[in-house]
Amino acid sequence: MIAVKVQSLGLDRTSNTPVVILQESSGSRVLPIWIGPGEASAIAMELAGMKFARPLTHDLFASVILGLGGTLQRVMITKVVDNTYYAEMIIRRGTELISVDARPSDSIAIALRMSADIFTTEDLLEHTSIEVTEPTDESVELSGGPEGTDPGAAGLTPEQLREYLRRLNPEDFGRFNP
């Protein structure tokens, strides 16, 4: 397993979908994972250091893990099947290790809150990673996304995220249709 960190959040300009960019901790390869706007918001808020008076969903899950005497040891982004990424959350409770199947986006949001390490496989970095061209201003241009897409993303500094979230209107995310 290879340690990765959240390098940035971006927006795929071809599909208008949020993308979390994971970069290997001791290298330059990056792994893009297309995620939902709610999860992107949860990751962005944590990266920007924004806290709320009442716990949001990912905060609640972190509290449940701690309340049950556990710690999140690590998150592992394990595979991609039909453009769907899979992850496992490894929770330690006493001497017991518990593996929980989870979406990478939720796992990353919780890992950030609990300061847990994030890992992926060499295979994912080798076959689904993208090349990052030289940044211009404060943006990151991406190429080589899955299924022939040509994603583009703009990385934001913590201050830019904070400002974006301050101005965000809940209507910007659209309505949930089950």
> pLDDT for 53-100, tens place per residue?
888 999 999 999 999 999 999 999 999 998 899 999 999 999 999 999
Return the structure tokens found at 133. Answer: 């061209």
Nearest CA to 4 among 97, 101, 85, 58? 85
Return the structure tokens found at 150. Answer: 């040509």
Query: Is the whole model's pTM more than 0.85, yes or no?
Result: no
Architecture of domain 2-167: Roll (3.10)
DSSP code at position 48: T
Strand partners, 89: 75, 100
* Per-domain boundaries in the chain: 2-167
> What is the tens place of the pLDDT at every residue in 17-29?
899 999 999 988 8
